[in-house]
A = this chain, B = another copy of it.
Amino acid sequence: MRESAENSPRFGDSKMQTPCGMILFAGMTQLDLTGPYEVLSRTPGVRVVLLGASRDAVRTEHGLMLTPELSFAESPGLDVLVVPGGWGVNDVLLDGRYLDFVSGAGSRARWVTSVCTGALLLGAAGLLRGYRATTHWGSVQFLAEFGAIPVSDERVVVDRNRITAAGVSAGIDFALLLASKLCDVPSAQQIQLGIEYDPAPPFPGGHPSSSSPEVVLAEERRMSAAMLKRAEIVRMAAQRMNAVG
């Protein structure tokens, strides 16, 4: 009974399990991580591990605290790397601890993935050069600075072993697809039934192409100052990436 409260702990030492590392940092969007976590932690054979620069708890964007299980230094080799996004990604785009870990783990992982603006960290770590990729609709324009080929009309983009998801809630769609690749389609569909993922948003919208122009304008206005700051940081991170080569 995978779901039972009487489960044995998932953190076994079995060598049969696929280690899937999810990165934590302050100011991240918690649903970028917790959405995929709900799917991947139910995927047979997958062992999810939450990783941070240290084991200190991080305050996510709107206050929820999340705690790494292991520091980067303690991380096992990863078959799957998952990088979430959020405004806090700005602070890690120039942080050597994050760049080094993501670049190293990503170069060895079987699947290198991101949700939302986690793609910017993959990019800054040099992992998206020449790859089709997506991110939150509001940040797609930054992908090219890292040598990626930006995709703005697909919710989940797969290019060889890179999988990048669009903003926040796209992480659930992404994780079901990833579960099907790590296991099989019927298992992914069983997880989808288990989390009753037959979505029915109460309102139309959720993407600039489906939301009303007034809603898109209001959201763009709300983000505009933060986007100017992000543009500056992305430029610096891209310079650094190109200097590292």
Contacts and interface: CB of A to CB of B under 8 A. Distances in A.
Interface stretch (A23-31, A75-83, A99-107, A125-133): A23-31
B38 A168 contact: yes
Closest 4 interchain pairs by CB? A167-B196, A198-B206, A41-B62, A5-B27
Contacts of A202: 156, 173, 176-177, 180, 188
Contacts of A26: 5
Interface residues of A, number: 83
Contacts of A194: 167-168, 219
A30 B48 CA distance: 14
Interface in A84-105: 86-88, 90-91
**Per DSSP, are chain A's interface residues mostly helix, strand or loop, or mixed?**
loop
B203 A216 contact: no
Interface of A: 1-5, 7, 9-11, 26-27, 29-31, 34-35, 37-38, 41-42, 48, 50, 57, 61-67, 86-88, 90-91, 116, 136-137, 155-156, 166-170, 172-173, 176-177, 180, 185-186, 188-190, 192-203, 205-208, 210-212, 214-216, 218-219, 222-223, 225-226
